[in-house]
């Protein structure tokens, strides 16, 4: 990165390692089970697929605004950020460490297509264990933050993990969903969802739509510094995991289906949300969209 200020660099175009180093206070990161530990996938080499020394996820501890945090970052360029057995175990271990250390937050820089299909059941079990560990961390009152800004988005099992967390931060370049575009197209047909229509894909799963729908709490520009600022503001802010909160969430989802279930496109939903010039949403930057959603709060957010 040759930019004068590396915090202005694109989050999407940085590697997972670069993201961690720029997000945390300079020089504060200590990796756990780093690449020289060679804790690698036991499955990939048997299939003739190259492994990675860190199995595609970096975990460790550091400081953010001089507060202790634990952090994980998935590398989307390795196996699409897919969660395998070791990859998942590193995430689980990080959340279990949080229960002992009680950091100001656990940050997950998620970029993943979901379960790493090469590892089949081991990957599926890994994702469910990550969810359980994340929820245990939340139940202990330790905030969990998902920072989603990679080009591969956050899909499948990791999409579910993301929505289990206290807070979701996204850029407009990021996507968050359960089934990926190709999965929807192959199961429901191209008339239902054309995965090659990039504008459609981003309108439906992108950060702007997620922010307007409330699945994403903070929308930021695609800059490392913007993600850092957003994470700083959310430190120490846990959302109580109560039955009332869950029932409220269920009511919101039921209401969403009732209100928007018949909408053919995200633009229709934005119009129903009261946005007069709904088609223009795709051209707005993060600050303009925050202003659109919360006219009074702009300036208070990163």
Residue number with CB closer to another protein (75 or 221):
75
| Of the candidates 79, 71, 90, 73, the residue with the CA atom closest to the CA atom of residue 30 | 71
Min CB(75)–another protein separation in Å: 6
Size of the site for another protein (CB under 8 A): 20
Min CB(47)–another protein separation in Å: 7
Residue 68: CB partners within 8 Å, gap ≥ 6? 61, 62, 101, 103, 104
The total number of residues written for the chain in this structure: 302
| Of the candidates 280, 153, 151, 143, the residue with the CA atom closest to the CA atom of residue 212 | 280
User: Does residue 118 interact with another protein by CB under 8 A?
Assistant: no
Min CB(54)–another protein separation in Å: 8
Helices 16-23 & 224-234, crossing angle to 10 degrees? Answer: 50
Task: Tell me the three state secondary structure of residue 151.
Answer: coil
Out of 13, 77, 129, 197, name the contact with another protein by CB under 8 A.
Answer: 77
Convert residues 32-71 into a mask of x (bound to another protein by CB under 8 A) and - (unbound): --xxx--------xxxxxxxxxx-x---------------
Residue number with CB closer to another protein (78 or 95):
78
The whole-angstrom separation of Cα 138 and Cα 179 is 25
Cα-trace Rg, the chain = 19
User: Does residue 93 interact with another protein by CB under 8 A?
Assistant: no
Q: And the tokens for 81?
A: 């950020």
Min CB(53)–another protein separation in Å: 6
Min CB(20)–another protein separation in Å: 12
Residue number with CB closer to another protein (73 or 275):
73
Residues that bind another protein (CB under 8 A): 15, 17, 34-36, 45-54, 56, 75, 77-79
């Amino acid at each position: 990165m040759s930019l004068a200020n590396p915090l202005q660099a694109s989050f999407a175009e940085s590697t997972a390692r670069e993201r961690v180093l720029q997000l945390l206070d300079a020089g504060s990161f200590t990796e756990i089970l780093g690449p020289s530990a060679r804790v690698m996938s036991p499955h990939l080499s048997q299939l003739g697929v190259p492994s990675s020394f860190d199995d595609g996820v970096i975990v460790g501890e550091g400081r953010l605004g001089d507060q202790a945090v634990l952090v994980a970052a998935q590398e989307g360029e390795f196996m699409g950020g897919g969660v395998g057995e070791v990859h998942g175990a590193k995430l689980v271990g990080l959340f279990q460490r949080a229960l002992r250390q009680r950091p100001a937050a656990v940050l997950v820089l998620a970029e993943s297509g979901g379960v790493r299909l090469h590892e089949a059941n081991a990957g599926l079990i890994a994702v469910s264990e990550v969810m359980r560990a994340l929820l245990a961390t939340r139940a202990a009152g330790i905030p969990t933050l998902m920072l989603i800004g990679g080009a591969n988005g956050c899909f499948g099992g990791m999409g579910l993990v993301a929505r289990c967390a206290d807070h979701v931060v996204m850029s407009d370049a990021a996507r968050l969903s359960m089934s990926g575009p190709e999965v929807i197209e192959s199961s429901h047909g191209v008339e239902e969802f054309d995965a090659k229509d990039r504008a459609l894909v981003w309108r439906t799963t992108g950060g702007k739509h997620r922010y307007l729908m409330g699945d994403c709490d903070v929308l930021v520009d695609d800059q490392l510094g913007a993600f850092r600022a957003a994470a700083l503001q959310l430190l120490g802010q846990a959302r109580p995991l109560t039955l009332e909160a869950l029932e409220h969430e269920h009511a919101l989802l039921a209401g969403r289906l009732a209100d928007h279930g018949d909408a053919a496109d995200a633009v229709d939903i934005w119009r129903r949300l009261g946005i007069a010039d709904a088609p223009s949403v795709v051209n707005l930057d993060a600050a303009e969209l925050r202003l659109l959603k919360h006219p009074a709060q702009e300036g208070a957010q990163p």
